[in-house]
Each structure stands twice: as C-alpha cells, then as structure tokens.
Amino acid sequence: MRRYRRFGVAVLVITVFLTFPMSTNASQITLTSDNVLRGPYVDKVVYRSVGNYDNLVYYLQTGEIDLILDPINLWRSPTFEVEDPYIEFIQTSGNGYWCIDLNCWRYPLNISDFRRAFAYAFDKTRVITEIMQGLSNVHDSIVPPTSSFCIENELEPHYYTNQADIGNQILDDIGFEVDTTTGYRRGPNGESFGIEVSYYWGQSEIDEIMAQVAVDALNELHVFAYSGPFFVVANLLPKSYPDMLVRDANFYTNNVDWLSNKTWSEFAVVDPTYWKPTFSFSNATYDLYLDEMLHGLNYDSVYEAAAQIQRIIHHNVPRLVICPKTLLQPYRTDTFEGHIGDVIRGVSGIWSLCNMRSNTGSSGGTVHIGSLYLMRNFNIYTADYQFSKPFFENLWPTLFTIGPNLEFIPNLATSIISETHADNSAVPEGYTRITVDIISNATWSDGVPLTAGDVAFTTNYELESGVYGNPAGRNMEELVAAYAPTPTRVVFEYNTVSYWHIFDRATRYIIPKHIFNDFDGIGYEEWEAWDPVFNPQDPRVTCGTFIMDSFNHSTYEMIKNPDYYYLARELPENETSPQTSTTPSNGEPMTFDLFNLVTFGVSIGSSAIILVSTALIINHQRENARLN
C-alpha cells in the first residue's frame, strides 16, 4: 500500500457586526421540469479567498467578484456606502435555527417543569425585534420550518413571548420558593443553585446576546443565572459542561431521521469520563414514537410519529428553539442572469452555477465567487461537510441531489423501486430491497465509463474502510448487500423495513472503482491518506458538473466538464427566465407544485415503483400546506 502525507487545517473566523441593508427583489429563476438537469452554461468558476467581510463588500462593489460563497446571517449583513443598481439581495429562510440546549442530567434542569418554566419566560419576540431586526419569525418546533415534517402551527401553548408570570407560577407550584433575603429561588430541599448559560467561544456575537436574553428570563423567574463563553476541550468532563448552551443548528435535507442521533434515551447516558454532546433527554413515550418514526413503512406513519415527537420535545423542552436562521446574500447582476436561490447555499450553489448565463443570452464566461476561506482538504471522507459542500457538489456525482427547497432531484438515477416480501417473494421476510437504475452516459474525468458497479463499489468501500475508521462506514448495520446486476442497475438490501432506507444512499458521493479498489488503487486502509488536489501523486478523478482545473493559496478554479452527462452545449431557443424567486419575500417556506410523490410511490409494501423523470419532490403537499 502507498502512504501519503496528511494535512491539517486551521480556520480563523472573523466576526464583523454590520448594518442590514434594504433588500431588493432578486433576479432569479424557478426550477422547472425542463431545466433541472442541464447546464452549465458558464465556462469557469473561480473561488477567491478575500480575507474578511470588508473585502467581500469591496470586491463585490468593484465587480471583481459576482457572488459571495455563503449566505450571510443578519448580524453580519454588509452595508454599501454607494447604491449600486447591479447589486441585489436574496433573503432565504435557511434550513436551520438558533436554539438553547438544556442539560437534562443536571439539577434542576433534570426537572421538566423547571425547563418549561424557563421556556415560558424566554422572550423570543425580543430576539426577533432586537437581534434579528424583524427579519425572522418565532419558532417552537425542534424541526425547522423548511421541513414538510414541521408541525409548528399545531403546537400549543406557544413560547413566543415573555410569559414569566406562568413560569413563576410553575416554579411556585413545584416548591421552588424565593429566598426573601437573596431574592433568588431555592430548591424544594432548601439548597441554593445557579444556572450557567454559555455560548461557543469565538462563534458569533449573536450567541452572546441570546445568552443574555436567557439570563434575563431566568432572573425574571427569580433564578440566579450568569453567562459566559464555553471553550471546547478534548476529553471534557461532564461537570465542566454548562447548564445551557446557546448554539445554531443546521440541517441539510427535508428528512428528520437525525432526531434519533440527538434525543433518544440510548444517547442520554452520561459517560463519567467524557461527555458526548446530546440533550441527555430520556422519555419512554418518546422512544416508542422514535422507533415508529425510524421503522415506519410510509410517509404518513413517519409523519405522525414525527409529529408526536415534536409535541413531546415541545412539552419537555430539552431544547428551546428560538427562531429560524434567516440568511441574506448580495450578488451582482450586471454580467449574469438566471440565479437560483436555495435554502442551503443561496445563489452560490450548484443550481445557480448550472443555470447562470450571460445577460447577452450567450454561453460562456467566468463566474467569480468570493469567500472568507478556501478549503484545505479535498478528501470527501475527512473534509468538514459545511466547508466542503459548495465544492464537492460540483465535482462528485450522486444518485440524487438536494434541490433548492430540499426536494430530492435525480442526478444519476432514472428509476427507483422499493420492495419488501409483500411485494416480491424473493425478498426475505423483514427485509427491504431498493433497486435503482442509472443513466448510461456518465463518464469519469479520465474517460472511464461510470456504471452501477461504481455505485455498488462505493457502498462496499465505505463499509470495508469503516473497519479502518472511515466515518462513512458508520450506521450501516442494517445494510446487508450492495451489488450491480447490470451496468445500469444497482441493488441495495437491508435486513429491516423502513421508510428511510430509500434515502440512505441517495445523496452519497459516488467514487470510481478503478481508482479506489483494494488491488491496484487507493485501497480500504488508505481512505484517510488520500489527498487529491494537494498531493499531486493522488489521482483526481471525478464526474461532476465541473472539473477542478487549478489552485493556489488564494484561488481555486473549476472548468465546465465537457463530458458532463447533462451538459447543455447551447442555450435553449426562445427560453425565458421568469423573475420568480424560489423563496417568497417574507421568508416563509414555499411548496413546489411539481409532483406529489409521498414515499417514492404509495408505500413500502405495495409495489412501490417510481419512474424518476426530471424532478422528484418528496415534500408531502397536504401536510406542508399546513405551514402556510
């Protein structure tokens, strides 16, 4: 086996508090069935590290960059001294929120009534007014409003405003009396206590401000509280972890199977020597619904279980959700049009880069993107997901791609079949078989055809390299087989039945078998040492919309992949770009009205066969409409 050098990465986060500008209607287009899978029309994309936010603003105003890589949180919004008619803003209700995690294993936060009293006293409306400048909405559900599983409007009572009177009554009723000398409450046993509200050191000013709002809420409950930064230290002991932690939570799909990794009783056990960051929340009823959510057979059963989970979390408050993360993104419109805003990347993601074209109506041109950082790790298994996603989504193929509003859009896949024993007697009892057909014209950048064999190999590689520590091999216990009976068909078999199996391999990056195999390739043991881009000895073979062309310490350049399987060599004739935003101006989530496919068919157990044409929308329209 070959050995490679390994590189570390240091990230410096520079925070600037700037003033929010008045936003304008963005010049965007909405994805439709005839333009989802085509492009790109530009020749090159250049990512440039600019160092700080002041430089981002300067280079955008001078036209040296066309886009900013990441949407900007409200508290970081740039202000332009001179009005520029060619700079527009997109406002997006991001797929995430601000929240406070409460340590349910520590007294008195191990008492659900105490946590609920705090929820009543915390003033979310104040956060919206003073911190978010009115450009977000109060939110209670643990599921973000962009997800079709969210039941925000069904939760009651809401914790939207300062209701300290209710909170004080709750604490009075459970025996937390106010000491007339100190003015602070004592526990029912007569002992005094205090609450530490922390925020991650160096992350953002907004965390610190929200921590103070939490302290104010506790003070109104006559609870002694204080705030301060929290420093993450290796092998952190439980006693060193704060009582409450202000943080942001980000999600990358419409799915809610992530709930099993955060709040289940299995993860609530506190290791006496090392604390793993969970809610440490234990609830037997929650466990029952979580099991149903993880192993439900169709969307409706999963949705109902997820709804009950949200109600339990709302009542017990192991996490207090505050408000969605509203994101802003300025960009130039004097050279390119056809921008597409999505809830993850704004207008700098793969959908914009595939659909942008010159204002003159011609193909070609170079898009310049400014960023505060450039990635220093191109190993898809070790790179930080948040930093790597904007690059990897342009370079690596997947069976499906996450669309602008979190819908699943086919990439390599053309059809998908989900079967259990009830559908096909060849499938063993209690098993699920997922069959995916893929396109036949995909080619790796070295000219080797991409086949279903690569898709199956990717799964088996992750499983085999998982023995050597590859994190991609985690949580694969239920997957028992992955094989390719034909060059265009791959089969995945699971030893359980679950609605979520259909998503398991959907967005995983596919790797080339002839590069990673264990005979003359990188091999299973060397998964971590593989370092494309920065190690010239490592093969850089990809199959995406773009190809990595050149790089240095401050820029990365990607060129259009001439062999991209959906390449549009010419702009469609008589095409018009409707000036319709994918996100309404009020920031509320929007429902795509394309297909109403609930579970890739009817249900697992009723011959669920789905032909994937040009768009596959998983959002359940009936339930999603309840949010509007």
Q: What is the DSSP string of 509-561?
A: PP--HHHH-TTTSS-STTTTT--TTT-TTS-----SSEEEEEE-SSEEEEEE-
Mean pLDDT of the residues in the chain: 80
Sign (positive or negative) of CA dihedral 185, 186, 192, 195: negative
Q: Are the C-beta atoms of 323 and 127 separated by less than 8 Å?
A: yes
For range 602-609, the mean pLDDT: 32
pLDDT at position 572 is: 54
pLDDT over 80 at 513, yes or no:
yes
Residue 607 pLDDT class (50, 70, 90 cuts): very low
Residue 613 pLDDT > 50, yes or no? no
Express each pLDDT in 182-207 by its tens digit. Answer: 999 999 999 999 999 999 876 667 88
**pTM, full prediction:** 0.79
Residue 575 has pLDDT above 60, yes or no: no
Model pLDDT, residue 77: 59
Segment 596-625 mean pLDDT? 31
Mean pLDDT over 100-113 rounds to 92
Lowest average pLDDT, out of 280-284, 311-315, 421-425, goes to 280-284
Helix axis angle for 299-316 and 112-121, nearest 10°, is 90
Q: Which amino acid is present at 236?
A: L
Q: Helix (H, G, I), strand (E, B), or coil: what is residue 217?
A: helix
How is residue 525 written in tokens?
A: 């043991």
Contacts of 589 (CB under 8 A, 6+ apart): 93, 145, 146, 405, 624, 627, 628
From the CB of residue 540, how many other CB atoms can be counted at a distance below 10 Å?
A: 16
Contact at 8 Å (CB) between 128 and 136?
Answer: yes
Residues of the chain above pLDDT 90, percent: 49
CA–CA separation, 382 and 530 (whole Å):
10
Q: What is the mean pLDDT of residues 399-417?
A: 88
Give me the count of residues in the chain: 628
Model confidence pLDDT, tens digit, residues 492-501: 999 999 988 9
Over residues 472-484, mean pLDDT = 94
Q: Which of 282-286, 374-378, 474-478 is most confident?
A: 474-478
DSSP assigned state of 159: -
Q: Is the pLDDT of residue 88 over 70?
A: yes
Instruction: State which H helix or E strand residue 165 sits in.
Output: helix 164-173
pLDDT score recorded for residue 534: 83
- With b meaning 16 or more CB within 10 Å and e meaning fewer, what string describes 148-174? bbbbbeebeebbbebbbeebbebbeee
Tokens of 440: 């036949």
pLDDT tens per residue across span 305-318? 999 999 999 999 99
Judged by average pLDDT, the poorest of 30-34, 82-86, 225-229, 301-305 is 30-34
Is the confidence at residue 36, as pLDDT, over 60? no
- Average pLDDT (72-78) is 60
Q: Is the pLDDT of residue 602 over 60?
A: no
Q: How do residues 324-343 score in pLDDT, each as one tens digit?
A: 988 788 899 999 998 988 88
Place 73 in a pLDDT band, splitting at 50, 70 and 90: low
Lowest mean pLDDT among 34-38, 275-279, 283-287, 470-474: 275-279
d(C-alpha 206, C-alpha 18), whole Å:
12
Residues 6+ positions from 360 with CB-CB distance below 8 Å:
none
Q: Which domains are delineated in the chain?
A: 1-86+336-388+547-590 (no CATH), 94-325 (3.10.105.10), 397-528+595-627 (3.90.76.10)
pLDDT band at 89 (very low <50, low <70, confident <90, very high): confident
What's the maximum distance between 2 C-alpha atoms anywhere in the chain?
80
Give the percent of the chain with pLDDT over 70.
Answer: 78
Q: What is the pLDDT of residue 227?
A: 93
Strand 319-332, strand 72-73: pairing = antiparallel
Mean pLDDT of 600-620: 32
Residue 233 has pLDDT above 70, yes or no: no
Q: Identify the pLDDT of residue 570.
A: 58
* Whether 510 contacts 458, CB under 8 Å: yes
Concatenating the DSSP letter of every residue in 413-427 gives: EEEEEEE-TTT-TTS
Report the alpha-carbon distance of residue 183 to residue 173 in Å, rounded: 18
Helices (H), 241-298: 284-295
Question: What is the residue whose two structure tokens read 């191109």?
Answer: 378
- Of 376, 404, 551, 530, whose CA–CA distance to 465 is shortest? 530
* CA trace torsion 393, 397, 399, 403 (10° rounding): 30
Alpha-carbon span 380 to 516, nearest angstrom: 13
> In angstroms, rounded to a whole number, what is the distance separating the alpha carbons of residues 453 and 461?
12
What pLDDT sits at residue 232?
A: 66
Which residues lie across from 286 on neighbouring strands? none
Q: Which of 257, 547, 569, 610 is nearest to 413 (CA)?
A: 610
Alpha-carbon distance of 403 to 213, in angstroms, equals: 36
